[in-house]
Amino acid sequence: MLQKRKAFTLAEVMITLAVLGILASIILPAVSRIRPNKSKAMFKKAYYVAERMVYELVNDQDLYPSNGSYVGFDNTATASYLGIEYPTNNTGSAANAGEGAKFCQLFARKLNTASDDIYCDAAHSVPTGGGTFKAPSFITSDGIHWYMPYSDFKPINTKNYIYVDVNGPKAPNCRCTDANCYDCATPDIFQIVLLPDGKMSVESTIEKAYLKSNDSMQDARDH
């Protein structure tokens, strides 16, 4: 005599799927909150690196001497660093060596760049954003792409901008403030405001939130 096989009824299957769906809706948001936000960690790292470099440069009286006529980076006169006069054409690239290149070149030379190619000109000072990718001024060994201001820092209240793309050519390649940034939850391009006297700040809501978060800087160092 054949034994009758037991099986789930359609109602039981539907109930099981409904329960799994409820569990997923509860668990997945919690998991996403636990998972580190790499873009945030890398932006915080880039900001603190920029803060340190700007402080060192603006207070270096050999590179940016103050004599009453200047407030900091607006002193674009040639200055010597490690035996090289800046601004210079000796950057491993066809970089523009005009007055506007001085800050970019000195900033890059104080960092551990991924190569000797440093492009300090207007063409490499702003990322395209909006889902497209544009070559940066230089890349650091941690993979951050830096877009430096090509500026003479005049007048003294002029806002200049450092842009960082924390993952290079990988999507989404946009700031949260871009109208067509499709992934505002995790932007990868960030803007840092820089004044001629060395004061720094950020303007967008998400950049302010990232810097105010209590996440450990160890997360950024680990990347």
pLDDT in tens, 90-134: 766 656 778 899 999 999 999 989 888 899 999 999 998 888 899
The C-alpha torsion from 100 through 92 and 191 to 128, rounded to 10°, is: 100
In a domain, 223, yes or no: no
The domain of 93 spans 39-213
Q: Above pLDDT 90, what percent of the chain?
A: 56
Residue 216, beta-bridge partner list: none
In a domain, 220, yes or no: no
- Total domains present in the chain: 1
In a domain, 145, yes or no: yes
CA distance linking residue 137 with residue 125, whole number of Å: 6
In a domain, 196, yes or no: yes
In a domain, 11, yes or no: no
- pLDDT of 188 reads 93
In a domain, 5, yes or no: no
Q: Average of pLDDT values for 171-199?
A: 87
Instruction: Supply the mean pLDDT for the chain.
Output: 85
Distances (CA, A) of 102 to 67, 86, 223: 18, 6, 29
- pLDDT of 114 reads 87
pLDDT in tens, 62-79: 999 987 788 899 999 999
Contact yes or no for 117/95 (Cβ under 8 A) = no
Q: Which residue has the higher pLDDT, 94 or 48?
A: 48
In a domain, 51, yes or no: yes
Q: How far is CA 131 from the centre of its chain?
A: 15
pLDDT greater than 70 at residue 33: no
